Amino acid sequence: ALVMVLAATSAFADGLLKIGYVQVGHESDWRMANTQNYYDVFTEDAGFELELIDCDNDHALQLAKVREFVQKDFDYIVIDPIQTAGWDDVLKEVQEAGIPCIIADRSVDASSDLYTTAVGTNMTAEGETAGKWLEEYLAGKAAKILVIEGSTGSSAAIGRSEGFNNIAANHPEWEILASQDGDFTQNGGQAVMEDFIKRFPEFDVVVCHNDNEAYGAMDAMDAAGIKYGVDGKIIISFDATKEGLTRTLAGQILCNVECNPIQAVIVMNVIKDIQDGKEIPKFTLVPDEGFCAPGIESSLVTVMTDEVLAARKY
């Protein structure tokens, strides 16, 4: 569906469009890259004044900051929702104030009538890519699987679990031993993995919902003398940040499903289209792809090389 929105004429004397972005926090390398990308793109030279708030994973704070943007009559409000739930009231308030609202990266569990448009990746598809890669790699072999989830209640964690489970459902020879929240952080990933190592003496695969959790899981396995890589435990990760892909190229992470943090340009183009009075789609997909370690044959993901790594900015 396409939607028409009334363009904002900046209420501010400097003529710059005021953009308020409520960012999730600073939990991961992905997040830092996403924040940097917004600062790089929404510059004064480009005609914008960006106020980016680090909400530090605090849903109540995120709601309060959106309300503050409404009070200050910002031209556009961009929300990267920490959690999917609990958005109806505040979205209605933004709408009643007549401020175009863009949901970016993560999604909300609210009617799409309540916001202007959304920009983001398909987290369920990311989970399915991870599952399909594993399916191809194991080729019928049985596996005991541990999952370190992203922050509970976030669309990124919900989607990745759902997608992976969709594929796992076709494999009675796969056993998911446990699935636990590591909050998308390195410390969280390490703590969950330390706990897993105590509880599950035998496992084959660790699925980490982001790269930072994977680094923490590796630290825990290093400390316990557990090998990972082509001749050890299989680590699957998400995000495919520069460091994550460095470890994929090194054969430590066997599969890394990208989630592209470079989203600000897409958001900016949507805003420009609204300004120009153009019709905009209700959702714009940020494309991403999967990668695997060298030496693995895959029909689904790109095999890592030095060139692929060199081309990554974040």
The least distance separating ligand GYE from the CB of residue 159, rounded to whole angstroms, comes to: 9
Which residue lies nearer to ligand GYE by CB, 49 or 149? 149
Radius of gyration, CA atoms only, the chain: 20
Pick from 19, 94, 208, 259: which binds ligand GYE (CB under 6 A)?
Answer: 259
How many residues of this chain interact with ligand GYE, rule: CB under 6 A? 12
Of residues 178-207, those binding ligand GYE (CB under 6 A): 184
Using the rule CB under 6 A, is 118 a contact of ligand GYE?
no
Question: For residues 152 and 85, is the Cβ–Cβ distance under 8 A?
Answer: no
Question: For residues 156 and 211, is the Cβ–Cβ distance under 8 A?
Answer: no
Using the rule CB under 6 A, is 18 a contact of ligand GYE?
no
Which residue lies nearer to ligand GYE by CB, 286 or 293? 286
Q: Which of 229, 180, 240 is nearest to 205 (CA)?
A: 229
Which residue lies nearer to ligand GYE by CB, 186 or 275? 186
Instruction: Please report the DSSP string for the chain in residue order.
Output: -EE--PPPPP-STT-PEEEEEEE--S-SHHHHHHHHHHHHHS-TTTTEEEEEEE-TT-HHHHHHHHHHHHHTT-SEEEE--SSSSS-HHHHHHHHHTT--EEEESS--SS-GGGSSEEEE--HHHHHHHHHHHHHHHHTT--EEEEEEE-STT-HHHHHHHHHHHHHHTT-TTEEEEEEEE-TTSHHHHHHHHHHHHHH-S--SEEEESSHHHHHHHHHHHHHTT--BSTTSBEEEEEE--HHHHHHHHTTSSSEEEE-----HHHHHHHHHHHHTT--EESEEE----EEE-TT---SSSEEP-HHHHHT---
Using the rule CB under 6 A, is 247 a contact of ligand GYE?
no
Pick from 105, 149, 181, 288: which binds ligand GYE (CB under 6 A)?
Answer: 105
Which residue lies nearer to ligand GYE by CB, 171 or 242? 242
The least distance separating ligand GYE from the CB of residue 274, rounded to whole angstroms, comes to: 24
Which residue lies nearer to ligand GYE by CB, 95 or 246? 246
Pick from 21, 30, 38, 215: which binds ligand GYE (CB under 6 A)?
Answer: 30
* 104 bridge partner residues: 119
Pick from 23, 28, 248, 256: which binds ligand GYE (CB under 6 A)?
Answer: 28
For the record, the structure tokens of 32 come out as 């830092």
Which residue lies nearer to ligand GYE by CB, 27 or 75? 27
Pick from 8, 20, 31, 253: which binds ligand GYE (CB under 6 A)?
Answer: 31
Judged by CB under 6 A, the stretch of 22-30, 36-44, 188-196, 273-281 that binds ligand GYE is 22-30
Using the rule CB under 6 A, is 38 a contact of ligand GYE?
no
Contact track, ligand GYE, 206-235, x by CB under 6 A: ----x-------------------------
Question: For residues 51 and 20, is the Cβ–Cβ distance under 8 A?
Answer: yes
Which residue lies nearer to ligand GYE by CB, 55 or 259? 259
The least distance separating ligand GYE from the CB of residue 10, rounded to whole angstroms, comes to: 29
Using the rule CB under 6 A, is 258 a contact of ligand GYE?
no
Binding site for ligand GYE (CB under 6 A): 27-28, 30-31, 105-106, 156, 184, 210, 238-239, 259
